[in-house]
Amino acid sequence: MAWVAPMDDRPETAHAPVFRGPSGSSHKLVDPEEVAEVASALPSMDIAERTKRYAAIEDYRKRPMIVYATSTRPGVRAQMAGDAVREFIDQLDKVVAGDAIDILVHSSGGDALTAWKLMSVLRERFKNVAVLVPFAAFSAATIFALGADEIVMHPHASLGPIDPQIAVKLPDGKIRGFAYEDLGAFLSFLQHDMKLTEQKYTSSVVDKLFSTVDPLVVGAAKRASDLSVDVGARLLSMHQPDDRKAKQIALNLNKSFFAHGDAVSRQRALKLELPVAKKADARLEALLWDAYLGIETYMELRRPFDALQTFLADPTAAASFVPTAPLLLPSNTPPQVVKQAWEAAANNALQAAQAGGVEVKFTLLNALIESPRAASEFRTTGGISAFRIPGGEVRVHVVETATGWNPVAIPAAAGA
């Protein structure tokens, strides 16, 4: 998932979810019993078991570890954001000794300046910082990892490019992802593929481009791209003595990929001269994967979130959604009877509308920061309602009532 440039209208609380399938879109109804059956079959993973797995890594590595995970659950979008810094400080206050620390990261990205701030805070306290990646650390999470003395990647793990993506609102109201590198590719296409070199031709094409994308958006994309390179180079310079080499590595991560989602494997990361651990450690890899499976299960990362399915999984909501039988009258029905039947149907519909629809409560886990010593979670809670419109389409409304970080108690035996 792309990290959003400073144009994001809520950068400090960007863990709040965005639901795929906007309110008002049409949906195909699903069997609520099937949804409930799938949900009940999913295992749970409580804080005691997760911290036990984290403690096993700490025992093996002989240094404290903090976990930072943002949701990669299909249907929910969450980002690394500035509000996580304060949670990290609470974690660091629990570390009483030592000059080395591990940070286990799972994220598809977020705010590049958050990555810089988090690593800067860590560097103020610790001489050696390692980032452990069991599965995915894309975009801003990759930027964060660049500041580590060592990046330990599981064989299943991937990093990603650091070319920032911003959201562009089109005249029709739709949102389109846009990157500064897209503009460079377009201009290269005009010059090298279309052979348009005369100014009178290129000017008309560029005018057409700016009629679709605001020039200020292009400027913002350019600044975001430069920012990602600058932050990446600064983070690399924390442990890379050659500033020119650090800048080149950051540029390669920004410019040498054709897609933002292109995965960077461990071998590929080594070729890009990232500070990735070269020697495989089977024991550590097993411990990392065990810890990730605990996170994956608890955050339900393999169970897509769909607002309508969640609504229909509630028996009361599903019962309220049964379509009303059509009013069928014989063709020879007396007019007076037809009138009475339609009046009765209208009254029933009015009473149902006045009674109000069913609202199903939901809660989503958007991010967590935890260790054997402390834990906190960013959750979103709210309600889901749904109704039919003429023509049979279904409208879904999701209302968030609360978002934010909250501490999670760790059982004494688990945190010992």
pLDDT in tens, 186-229: 666 666 666 666 666 667 766 766 666 666 666 667 777 778 88
Q: What percent of the chain has pLDDT over 70?
A: 70
Question: Is the pLDDT score of 47 beyond 70?
Answer: yes
Determine the average pLDDT of the residues in 15-31.
38
Q: What angle do CA 387, 393, 398 make, to 5 degrees?
A: 45
User: What per-residue confidence (pLDDT) applies to 125?
Assistant: 94
Mean pLDDT of 262-277: 91
Backbone angles phi, psi at 79, to 5 degrees: -135, 155
* Residue 4, pLDDT above cutoff 50: no
Contact 348, 366 (CB under 8 A): no
Q: Are 51 and 415 in contact (CB under 8 A)?
A: yes
Q: For residues 165 and 72, what is the distance between their CA atoms, to the nearest angstrom?
A: 17
* pLDDT tens per residue across span 333-378: 888 887 887 777 667 655 555 445 788 999 999 999 999 999 999 9
Indicate the CATH number for domain 11-20+43-166+223-305+364-379+404-415: 3.90.226.10
What is residue 387's predicted lDDT score, i.e. its pLDDT? 78
CB 71 within 8 A of CB 299: yes
Given a cut of 60, whether residue 6 has pLDDT beyond it is no
Mean pLDDT for the stretch of residues 374-392: 85
Residue 148 has pLDDT above 60, yes or no: yes
Residue 123 has pLDDT above 80, yes or no: yes
Lowest mean pLDDT among 38-52, 250-264, 308-322, 402-416: 38-52
Residue 367 CA from chain centroid, whole number: 9
User: 219, exposed or middle or buried, with CB in 10 Å at 0-12, 13-18, 19+?
Assistant: exposed
Residue 48: pLDDT over 90: yes
117: pLDDT strictly greater than 60 = yes
Instruction: State the pLDDT confidence band at 230, using cuts at 50, 70 and 90.
Output: confident
Secondary element (H or E) of residue 150? strand 150-153
pLDDT in tens, 165-194: 666 666 677 766 666 566 666 666 666 666
- Using CA atoms, how far residue 136 sits from 141, 142, 155, 262, 348, in Å, is 9, 9, 11, 12, 53
At residue 261, the pLDDT reads: 67
Look up the pTM and report it.
0.77
CA distance 288 to 334: 76
Choice between 272 and 415, residue whose per-residue pLDDT is larger: 272
DSSP helix/strand/coil, 161: coil
Between CA 358 and CA 386 the distance in angstroms is 8
**Beta carbons of 366 and 16 less than 8 angstroms apart:** yes
Q: What number is the average pLDDT over the span 254-283?
A: 85
CA pair distance 58, 22, nearest whole angstrom: 42
Helix (H) or strand (E) holding 159: strand 158-159
Lowest mean pLDDT among 171-180, 264-273, 304-313, 404-413: 171-180
Domain positions in the chain are 11-20+43-166+223-305+364-379+404-415, 168-216, 315-355
DSSP string of 282-343?
HHHHHHHHHHHHHHHHHTTTTS---HHHHHHTSHHHHHHTSPPPP----TT--HHHHHHHHH
Q: Is 103 helix (H, G, I), strand (E, B) or coil?
A: strand
Q: Per-residue pLDDT for 251 more than 90?
A: no
**63 falls in which pLDDT band (50, 70, 90)?**
very high
| pLDDT value of position 181 | 66
b/e code 89-98 from CB counts within 10 Å (16+ = b):
eebbeebeee
